[in-house]
Amino acid sequence: MTDEKVALVTAGGSGMGAAAAKRLAADGFRVGVLSSSGKGEALGKELGGFGVTGSNQSNDDLKRLTDGALERWGRIDVLVNSAGHGPRAQIIEISDEDWHKGIDTYFLNVVRPTRLVTPVMQKQKGGAIINISTAWAFEPSVAFPTSAVARAGLAAFTKIFADTYAADNIRINNVLPGWIDSLPAVEERRQNVPMKRYGTSEEVAATISFLASDGAAYITGENIRVDGGLMRGY
């Protein structure tokens, strides 16, 4: 087993997932990246780690990712769960099939890999799981219904998991990005942000980096907004 820490990133071929992989590699982590596009395979190698071409909706593909890390380095310290894009439609026009796709994309994308890494982290006596959620998890937008509904469920899952595994020193937190530059720029959206700009994928990655670090060792079960002041909560 290596003494170097190991981070896995799902849906990490582009956008916030790729930015997280790059930042964690810069922080000294060995990195494994899963992406359906094939970009994750190239990125993982570029960062001195490895990549798997596959889907976070496939238990088999996720197992290839976790097994790849354990075969190479014998440990998994951090899991970052990113996501693709789920179905969008007017709320009562979303079919049962599309609701299930939304849950697969925005909720089970976390549950599946978390099942795989938790026993590993228990044996290591610690680990951190960081989920890229959405600023609209608690104040849902009509524009992103399947995301908002599934990620409200993710918030509940995260709190239950945190309570269950805190004694094992396994932490789990959600990062809630607002309008980020990996999305198309829309002036109306920009003007609705108190800081009057889109955030960057690198700013989200910096928050993930902190949550993966020893500096966040006393933080678990939280939903942390990275949204330029768009949403407010207590």
For the chain, strand residue ranges (E) read 6-10, 30-35, 50-53, 78-81, 127-132, 170-177, 223-226
Q: For residue 85, give the 3-state DSSP assignment.
A: coil
Architecture of domain 6-226: 3-Layer(aba) Sandwich (3.40)
Q: Which of 162, 150, 5, 7 is nearest to 83 (CA)?
A: 150
Contact yes or no for 119/47 (Cβ under 8 A): no
| β-pair partners for 31 | 7
Instruction: Dihedral sign for Cα 173, 179, 181, 184, please.
Output: positive
Burial degree of 153 (CB within 10 A; 0-12, 13-18, 19+)? middle
At 233 the pLDDT is 57
**pLDDT score at 234:** 45
CB 207 within 8 A of CB 175: yes
Contacting residues for 5 by C-beta, under 8 A, at least 6 apart: 28, 29, 30, 75, 77, 78
How much is the pTM? Answer: 0.95
Average pLDDT across each block of 10 residues of the chain; the chain has 234 residues. List them in order.
90 96 98 96 97 97 98 98 89 96 97 99 99 93 93 98 99 94 74 83 98 98 93 65
What residue segments make up the domains of the chain, in order of their start?
6-226
Q: Which of 1, 180, 41 is nearest to 9 (CA)?
A: 41
Nearest to 149 by CA among 190, 200, 99: 99
Task: Tell me which DSSP letter residue 57 carries.
Answer: T
- Residue with token string 């678990």: 220
Pairing mode of beta strands 78-81, 6-10? parallel
**Which residues is 50 bridged to in the sheet?**
32
What strands, in cross-sheet order, belong to the sheet with 50-53? 50-53, 30-35, 6-10, 78-81, 127-132, 170-177, 223-226
What's the rounded Cα separation, in Å, for the pair 231 and 228? Answer: 8
